[in-house]
Amino acid sequence: MSGRVTRCCVALFFALTSVSAVQTLRSINALKKINYGQSVPKHSLVLLYWFANTVEIDNNNVILLTFDPNDGDYGSHHYGNYEGLLDPLPRGNRYRYYTIGNLNRETSVPLPPYVVHPPTEHMGGNRDRIIIRVREQNIVGQALQIDQVYITQHYDTYETQGTPYDPDHTYQITTDLLRQIREFSVGANQQQLLHLRNRNWMSTRTDIWNAILFNKKYMIE
């Protein structure tokens, strides 16, 4: 009896430790608490802002993909999760992980200029990525569904860890947080955006994130 209990405990331990312990960010307030500019590149915020405004979110909180990661759109490609950064995929062939945001990847659908060439303080050395888990649909032509979203980054070169992603700086992003990011520019801050209407796209987006996350004021010219 004791042997069976021991085996069950060991099995439970490995089952629990095999599940990733990624922190979940549910709001902009939670996003503010991350140490951007130090351990995490500020560029990941620019990439996240772009992503939130590129995908679609329906009335049932389902995130729909608007591009094809299999074609390398926006610097995307399949991610095998070989280092066990994230949870194993559910059984079957209906789920896949993809990474998005490789600035050096040649593609016919590139990221916009404000992501590729941000102000100096928001450059990230092409380390930051978005990872999505996509559920394939049975109906031909139906948009692919995203059921998990993460922001992550490659280890910095001085850390001598190679090219894997850093689990200590990987965060799951909820649909609610994506909605908050999407609604920011059309909600209470619409007036600020009107003041910024004569400024270019890149500067406007940067000013928005400075205001949200670093409590900076808009530099209205």
Tell me the mean pLDDT in the region 97-101: 97
- 87 located within any domain: yes
The answer to whether residue 29 sits within a structural domain is yes
Q: What pLDDT score does 38 carry? A: 63
Range of the domain at 162: 21-182
| Strands 63-64 vs 128-135: parallel, antiparallel or unpaired | unpaired
Q: Check residue 181 and give its pLDDT.
A: 87
User: What pLDDT sits at residue 206?
Assistant: 53
Count of positions (residues) in the chain: 221
Assigned domain for 88 exists: yes
Instruction: Please name the residues in contact with 69: beta carbons below 8 A apart, sequence gap of 6 or more.
Output: 76, 77, 78, 98, 100, 132, 134
By C-alpha distance, which of 203, 94, 88 is closest to 142?
94
User: What's the pLDDT score for residue 109?
Assistant: 95
Distance CA 79, CA 126 (A): 17
**Which pLDDT belongs to residue 36?**
72
Q: Is pLDDT at 147 greater than 60 in this prediction? A: yes
Q: What is the Cα–Cα distance from 20 to 132, expressed in whole angstroms? A: 15
Residue 135 falls within a domain, yes or no? yes
Q: Which letter does DSSP use for residue 8 in this model?
A: H
Average pLDDT over residues 166-193: 77
Scored b (16 or more CB within 10 A) or e, 4-36 reads: eeeeeeeeeeeeeeeeeebeebeeeeebeebeb
On average, the pLDDT of the chain sits at 76
- Rounded to an integer, the average pLDDT of 70-78 is 96
pLDDT (0 to 100) of residue 217: 44
Per-residue model confidence (pLDDT) at position 81? 96
Domain count, the chain: 1
pTM of the model: 0.76
Give the pLDDT band of residue 11 (cuts 50, 70, 90): very low
Q: Is 6 contained in some domain?
A: no
Instruction: Tell me whether residue 78 is in a domain.
Output: yes
pLDDT, position 221: 31
User: So what's the pLDDT on residue 123?
Assistant: 67
